[in-house]
Amino acid sequence: MSELLLVEDVALLLLADDTGWMRGQYHEWVLAGALATELAIRGRIRLTEKGERDVRPGRVVVSDASSTDDAILDQALVRLAGRPVRWRSTTVQLLRKNVKRLVLERLVERGFVEAREHRVLGLVPITVYPAVSFDYEQRLRSGLFAVLARNEEPTVREACIIALLSAVNMADKVIAEDVSTVNRRAIRKRAKEMRKVHWAAETAYRLIQNQQSAAAG
């Protein structure tokens, strides 16, 4: 089995193992941020820097539009490659389309979750995705727990995942269901620090904040 994408890791962590519901409001923004992060790590997109000609710093450009051999990433690249320079917020907004469906289908194919029909109030049919395989996710959680609760140094991948989880305030909830076992305030603070230095996670967070402000009227 090929290594999971960041967006798959984040989706697995946000899915409740028993009910198959995706936890955290506005999670699609975070999944889109995970796609952007993956593309950046792989050198497919980058932020412009101060001093570049004819472009302001901090914009997103596609630096390599060739195939990644992954359908989800290739589809994301096609969306971004149509314009030479984009705002960070526009990038995440574009990648949000269909990302939840695509990643859940991938997790079903890989055998981590199963698609199961559920009726809300016994009437409205929806599909939920309870876990059927737990070893990989448990190892992932254990690594994040060591970083957030024991202050171990994160890998690049772990730092990215934590930053993305922080965008929906789920970092502490994902690593420990038992409130008494961890210092949640300290965990949220460390996760926030990681989020602030990962542009896609911070962009997702700000978009979510805007959505929440709009919903509040």
pLDDT, residue 138, reads: 93
Residue 145 token pair = 């727990």
Closest CA to 40 of 69, 8, 76: 76
CB 169 within 8 A of CB 29: no
Closest CA to 185 of 142, 149, 141: 149
DSSP one-letter code for 180? G
pLDDT, residue 178, reads: 61
pLDDT, residue 125, reads: 83
pLDDT, residue 87, reads: 94
Determine the Cα–Cα distance for residues 81 and 69; give it in Å rounded to an integer: 16
Q: How many CA atoms within 13 Å lie on the side-chain side of 127?
A: 9
Domain ranges of the chain: 6-216
DSSP one-letter code for 131? B
**Residue ranges of the chain with per-residue pLDDT less than 70:** 1, 120-122, 177-181, 217
CB 47 within 8 A of CB 58: yes
Handedness of CA 9, 14, 20, 25 (dihedral sign): negative
pLDDT in tens, 84-110: 889 999 999 999 999 999 999 999 999
Phi, psi of 116 (to 5 degrees): -135, 135
CB 160 within 8 A of CB 5: no
Domain range 6-216, CATH class: mainly alpha
Determine the Cα–Cα distance for residues 86 and 68; give it in Å rounded to an integer: 21
Collapsed DSSP state (helix, strand, coil) of residue 134: coil
pLDDT, residue 137, reads: 94
Q: How many CA atoms within 13 Å lie on the side-chain side of 182?
A: 24
Residue 185 token pair = 């305030």
Determine the Cα–Cα distance for residues 25 and 10; give it in Å rounded to an integer: 14
Task: Tally Cβ neighbours within 10 Å of residue 24.
Answer: 19
Question: The pTM is what?
Answer: 0.93
